[in-house]
Amino acid sequence: MQLDVRASCRFENGVLCAFLGQFNVQSALGVVKNRHVAQGKLTLKRSVVTGVFLAIVLAAIMSTVDSLLILASSAVIRDVVQKIFRPDLSDRRLSFYGKLVTVVIGAGAIVFALGEVRMLFWFVLFAWSGLASAFTPVILCSLFWKRTTRAGAIAGMVAGFATAVLWVVFVKTSFYDLYEMLPGFAAGFIVTVGVSLFTEPPEGAAEEHASVWRSIGPGSGGA
């Protein structure tokens, strides 16, 4: 009888252990399954968020690029072709040439982008400092000094841009990392004034400058 009781206890313990073991295995499988589901959802959320931000960045890039393409083609057609070479062209012809220039500029940009040309880095690097050094001194002198000449303006633009580039390449790291626009602006301003003093402005430039200031200056009532 005692043997039967012991055998019965061992049998019941075995059933209990088997039941508990099955429960633990099922629980473990459920935890692993839930973990994989959670990781899958997290990965999906990350992909969605990444896609949304990537679409935002690409939309901003496309918006800027198409505006710059239109601006570049308009500058070439209106400011160069129409005003210098062919002022008698019709609007339809100008529109056709504008579309053609847009395609050419876009194709050139694609070639540069696919080739990963290092020159693009330098274009972007001097996009603001170089332009500011080239044009700001000339614009200020043209607005506020009637002795500014065409030769002085061209020389000032070249000197300002060249100084900005040379400063970054040769001097900036050894001179307290001074921003290149400052020496570029100074060089452009000095060269514009210096060359203008040694050249003569076109006839009627002083009168035109005075008339412009009378029409837009203080007390003119034009604003």
Give the 3-state secondary structure of 36-95.
HHHHHHHHHHHHHHHHHHHHHHHHHHHHHHHHHHHHHHHHHHHHHHHHHHCCCCCHHHHH
Nearest to 187 by CA among 146, 144, 158: 158
Q: Write the DSSP assignment of 144-182 as a string of letters.
A: H-TT--HHHHHHHHHHHHHHHHHIIIIIGGGTTT--THH
Structure-token match 């170089």, residue found: 130
pLDDT of 206 over the 70 cut:
yes
pLDDT, tens digit, for every residue of 145-177? 888 998 999 999 999 999 998 998 888 888 888
pLDDT in tens, 60-74: 888 888 888 888 888
The model's pLDDT over 71-99, given as tens digits with 9 standing for 90+, comes to 888 888 888 888 878 888 888 888 888 88
Residue 11 above 50 pLDDT? no
Burial 180-200 (b: 16+ CB within 10 A, else e): bbebbbebbbebbbebbeeee
Angle at 29 between CA 25 and CA 32, to 5 degrees: 140
Check: CB of residue 141 under 8 Å from CB of residue 185. Answer: no
- Find the length of the chain: 223
Question: Within 13 Å and on the Cβ side, how many CA atoms surround 202?
Answer: 6
* Span of 102-116, 136-150, 172-186, 207-221 with lowest mean pLDDT: 207-221
Q: How far apart are CA 84 and CA 77, in angstroms?
A: 10
State the pTM of this model: 0.55
102 neighbors 154 (Cβ within 8 angstroms)? no
Cα–Cα distance measured from residue 78 to residue 73, given in angstroms and rounded to the nearest whole number: 8
